[in-house]
């Protein structure tokens, strides 16, 4: 499974913890193994 991520790098701690939870779930239960992220300007 391939996962693409984008969004603002100044996310609240609540959003960060939810994103982490979802990513761990995708890796452990759905076989996610390839991730694309932004890293341009103020956005990830």
- Going from N- to C-terminal start, the domains of the chain cover 2-36
Rounded Cα gap, residues 29 and 21, in angstroms? 12
Rounded Cα gap, residues 8 and 1, in angstroms? 23
Beta bridge partners of 35: 3
Whether pTM exceeds 0.75: no
Taking the mean position of all CA atoms in its chain, how far away is CA 32?
A: 11
Average pLDDT, the chain: 85
| Contact partners, residue 31, CB within 8 Å, separation at least 6 | 1
Q: What is the pLDDT of residues 11-21, one digit of tens each?
A: 788 988 998 99
Per-residue pLDDT of the chain in tens (44 residues, 90 and over written 9): 999 887 767 778 898 899 899 999 999 999 999 998 876 655 55
Two structure tokens written together for 38: 């932004």
């Amino acid at each position: 499974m391939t996962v693409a991520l984008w969004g603002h790098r100044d996310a609240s701690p609540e959003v960060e913890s939810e994103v982490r939870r979802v990513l761990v779930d995708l890796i452990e239960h759905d076989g996610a193994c390839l991730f694309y992220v932004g890293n341009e300007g103020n956005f990830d």
